[in-house]
Structure 1
Amino acid sequence: MTQPAVYRLQAKTQSYDWGKLGNVSKVARYAQQSGDAVDPSKPYAELWMGTHPNAPSVVMDDAHTPLRDLIHKYPELSTQTLYDQYSGDLPFLFKILSIRKALSIQAHPDKTLGARLFKEFPNNYKDPNHKPEMAIALTPFEALCGFRPLEEIARHLERYPELTELIGADVADSFLSTIQQQESNVEQNKAVLKSVFSALMHSPQESVTAQLSKLTDRLRDTEDPMAELVLRLDQQYSGGDIGIFSVLLLNYVTMEPGQAMFLGANEPHAYLSGDCVECMAASDNVVRAGLTPKFKDVNVLVEMLTYRYGSAESQKMTPQSFGSHSLLYDPPIDEFSVALTSLKTEETEEHKPIPGPSILIVTSGSGSLKAQGSTFDLKEGYVYFVGADVVLSAEAGESGLEFYRAFTVPT
């Protein structure tokens, strides 16, 4: 390739209420490296890396060339197959998230539902794409993800009578009797789980407010992780938010740095706290139902979910080797994979050519990157776009080096 294939990018930040404030936020610290001034009172929630029109990355050249324009001018940076398939855009959106308080309980539609929602409700759903996503923890991280094992939900119905009061005794009894039957099958279990979630989500607001008040009053003298979580969310979202009861039905997942989870289409989830690397299909479609003042589409959410259930640990991914010092997080979709490279002082790692475009961000340490006979500085917060079919060689400095690289290969 005669055209240079490595370009340093300026990525844009997004300020949402749930973001960490000022320099406490990794998003803000990383953005500072490309010239952004940091306001200590402003929440810095997300750093977007890619071609998504809501916050497109630009090349750090004299013209501040939008990354999308660069790829349009040189389609070979993406490969012609991917360029044609995604109309010159990157198939993925790469992000850093810094979370101070819980995000909304939500799910993302699959392609069929995404297309229908975009057609019928374009004011609420901005594109027809699906939005599978993956989160890799940078710091200790908390989330809700997927429905708990049915036995745990049954115990919660007994332990938290306020939940039973909301969904109704008939729904609770039907759920308990069904899952206790030896002859019940997965589809029957999913059906009664759906009835529980639907009854909860459709509870009248006055009932939610009253039962939540009873629950939080009762838990104030209780020392256990569930009580702490319920009380913390109640402080963050006062006014009787239905999403607080959802923690009794959804898995509470904790991750240490380097651990990851994949969130497929039509699966309920909510990030609660921490910093993470996130990668997703290039969409911004979200169906919300709690822990938010934003538009809630309860009927769509209840109908779209798969109602799969299982343990918190089952939500986590197992990375594969991607070299001597690298791990590969490879979810079961076409749009993206993510590699994590971790080097100690003066260690090196070579990435073989990837037949598709990629973006990398340095999350800690420093070092250098060699490609096509040129050398590029690597420092915390630096972001680079790398064209297809390029050999990369990274070397760590005195403080070591860690970077994440999101990429797509043609199928």
Structure 2
Amino acid sequence: MTAHAPIIRLDCKSQSYDWGKLGKDSKVAELAAASPEFAAKENTPYAELWMGTHPNGPSKVFDTDTPLKTILNATNLTEKLHQEYSGDLPFLFKVLSIRKALSIQAHPDKKLAGDLHARFPDIYKDPNHKPEMAIALTPFEAFINFRPLKEIKANLTQFPEFRDLIGDAVSKQFEVQVDKAGESTDAKDLAANKDVLKLLFKTLMESDEKALHEQLDKLITRIQADGLNTKGGLFELVYRLNEQFPKDVGVFCAFLLNHVKLSPGESIFLAANEPHAYLSGDCVECMAASDNVIRSGLTPKFKDVDTLVKCLTYNYGPADAQILHGDPYKGLKNTTLYDPPIQEFSILRTRLEKEQETVEGIAGPSVLIVTEGNGKIEYSNTGTKTVLDAKAGYVFFISAGVAVTLTGLGDGPFTSYRAFCT
């Protein structure tokens, strides 16, 4: 297999961040072990596996020092994408293994990203937006968007420490608006609802540090005294977040943000200016090729609370509405399409037993990773058929327009995820 073949196996870089799962418990480490040079260390956190051309972790042609970007051209990317993205892939594809929560965060839209990059280039490294999609590989937890307003109102009553931190005046203002128009779809009511939700969130994020610590101590003491930390639900979640990030304002975000639990194959899409945080589990993730993150809690990193409060959309609604299940792809039995409302990427998931499925050529480039099982990947080039081994952890770049046949060998599920752009 040469560097100019239509399908090229890649060597991909793992990233070690504090929140990653340790050693062989990490799905990232398990998949990275497909590279002969990788050996997992027991107490090292393996958080992310990067697949793409991002300069902070560029992929290489397997068993060489040749960067993927150097072999990309107007043929295997398409001339349009090659020009539009300056010879890079339009997306960054990842696997994540999460042991403890990532920060409460949002990603700026393109206009805000350009402004932040111009003013604070050391913090916001590029002028691009960063929409993301995550698909669960194992049971997976996340915060995403704001809860229904009635749930937040109920939490102000059920958790007096939350109410005391916010203060009675803001709490009552929020409750009055929710009672008046919390379920209205009228444009004026929606705007008023978002205004009072913004006030509540801003008040929490800007709360006095001493008051924050006092109320969080009261809450954790009450949870422990009543044995609620072992009962699941919000009490357990709050207790766990405080253990991971003691006395952090992000712990109280559990009362404001939807807590979603995904089963393997379920997904969430994270649009610009929407609050979210991954909490635990393993997933594949795809994003626009940007590094812009606006953080506000559950992190020792720089917190840009003012920017976050100003940029959020303050959309709210039930958790179930945030979970996506994908759609059948072009009548194929075993392939599911996850298609977010952006141009940079979509994702295919193919899951086979002892069977075969052919995916016709996609108009743009793609990157495929095998996440479990053993199989084969087959393609034709100028009349010659090529069959490659495709085992867990193998990653392939697939040129635009190349039809691919995947075959499961029947010794268990053979599952792959494929990010692509057209």
Identify whether the pair has TM-score above 0.5, normalized to the shorter chain. Answer: yes
- Which residue is 1:363 aligned to? 371
Equivalent residues of 2:147, 2:318 under 8 A apart: yes
Secondary structure of the structure 2 residue equivalent to 1:122: coil
- Map Cα deviations across residues 70-112 of structure 1 (whole Å, 9 max, x no partner): 11xx321100000001111101000000000111100000000
Cα distance between partner residues in 2 of 1:284 and 1:306: 20
Residue 53 (str. 1) matches residue 55 (str. 2): yes
Structure-2 separation of matches of 1:360 and 1:33: 14
Aligned to 1:327: 336
- Structure 2 letter corresponding to 1:189: N
Q: Report the TM-score, using the length of structure 2 for normalisation.
A: 0.94
Alpha-carbon distance between aligned partners in 2 of 1:57 and 1:205, rounded to the nearest angstrom: 43
Identical positions, percent: 52
Shift in Å, 1:32: 1.0
Tell me the distance in 2 between the aligned counterparts of 1:29 and 1:139.
Answer: 13
Give 3-state SS (helix, strand or coil) of 2:214's partner. helix
* Counterpart check, 1:233 vs 2:241: yes
Report Cα offsets for 1:368-389 as digits up to 9, x if no partner: 0111211110100000000000
> 1:318 and 2:325 equivalent?
yes
Show the 5 A alignment for 1:200-219: 200-219=204-223
Distance 1:181 1:363 in 2: 49
The farther-off stretch of 105-114 and 311-320 is: 311-320
Q: Which amino acid aligns with 1:12?
A: K
TM-score w.r.t. length of structure 1: 0.96
Partner of 2:398: 386
Alpha-carbon distance between aligned partners in 2 of 1:114 and 1:31, rounded to the nearest angstrom: 32
Q: Which residue of 2 aligns with 1:19?
A: 20
Shift of 1:3: 4.6
Say whether 1:295 aligns with 2:296. Answer: no
Write the distance in 2 (CA, Å) between the matches of 1:27 and 1:3: 28
Tell me the amino acid that sits aligned with residue 101 of structure 1: K
Q: Which moved more, 1:242-251 or 1:162-171?
A: 162-171
8 Å contact kept, 2:11–2:63: no
Residue identity in the other structure for 1:30: L
User: Quick one: which amino acid aligns to residue 391 of structure 1?
Assistant: A
Q: How many residues align?
A: 403
Q: What SS does the corresponding residue of 1:247 show, helix, strand or coil? A: helix
Regions of 4+ moved over 2 Å: none
Counterpart for residue 374 of structure 1: 386
Single out whichever of 53-62 and 99-108 deviates more from structure 2.
53-62
Q: Output the CA distance in 1 between the equivalents of 2:277 and 2:209.
A: 21
Structure 1 residues 318 and 29, CA gap change in structure 2 (3 angstroms): closer
- Mapped pair 1:194 → 2:198: yes
- Distance (Å, rounded) in 1 between the aligned partners of 2:209 and 2:4: 60
Which residue of structure 2 lines up, in the alignment, with residue 111 of structure 1? 110
Q: How many angstroms does 1:398 deviate by?
A: 2.5
- The DSSP-based 3-state class of the residue aligned with 2:39 is coil
Instruction: Give the whole-Å Cα distance in 2 for the aligned partners of 1:204 and 1:3.
Output: 59
CA positional deviation for 1:162? 1.1
Give the Cα–Cα distance (whole angstroms) in 2 for the partners of residues 224 and 403 of structure 1: 33
Question: Could you report, residue by residue, the CA deviation over 1:218-261 in whole angstroms, capped at 9, with x for unpaired residues?
Answer: 112223411100111111112x1000000100000000000001
Where do 5+ consecutive residues of structure 2 fail to align? none
> For the aligned residues, what is the CA RMSD?
1.2
Further displaced range: 220-229 or 103-112: 220-229
Q: Relative to structure 1, is the Cα distance of residues 42 and 3 closer, same or farther in structure 2, using a 3 angstrom cutoff?
A: closer
